[in-house]
Amino acid sequence: MKFGSNGVDVRYILHFWEKNMSDKSVRPLSPHLQIYRWQWTASYSILHRLTGIALSFGAVLIALWLVTLGTSPDAFAYVHGFMNSWFGIFVLLGFCWSMFFHVLNGIRHLFWDMGMGFTLEHGQFSGHLVGISSLVLTALVIALAL
């Protein structure tokens, strides 16, 4: 008996299912639970995605600020007051750091696209360099803003 549009035999599917379900006791657990060691490059990759999301929210916040600029003085004063609060400044500094980290890590990825820096040592060094450089550039922005 054939199954589906590709004509796979149902007996083959049932045999495959029974064989794989009966071997559960001899199969190892997922290898990441026992042998996987977390790497810096994975952390920087996840952080790159998170900063991209943060930049999206920051862009919405800046767009809201600009829209209120053209709407009414009261609306602008409200959003501007939020941005001048301690929480608003914290959000803007996070946005600034996210932008620097995301751009510098994007440059790092451009070098990878050119086939450079694929060794574990280069990946760790460039990741640390991106992290430190983004903090230094954010501190420079803070210093210039004061």
Domains of the chain: 38-145 (1.20.1300.10)
Rounded to two decimals, the pTM is: 0.73
Per-residue pLDDT tens digits for 80-96: 899 999 999 999 999 99
Buried b or exposed e, range 41-56, using 16+ CB within 10 angstroms: eeebeebbeebeebbe
Alpha carbon distances (Å) from 58 to 28, 54, 55, 109: 44, 6, 5, 23
Tens place of pLDDT for every residue, the chain, 146 residues?
A: 555 556 667 777 777 777 766 655 565 556 655 566 777 888 999 999 999 999 999 999 999 999 999 999 999 999 989 999 999 999 999 999 999 999 999 999 999 999 898 888 898 999 999 999 999 999 999 999 88
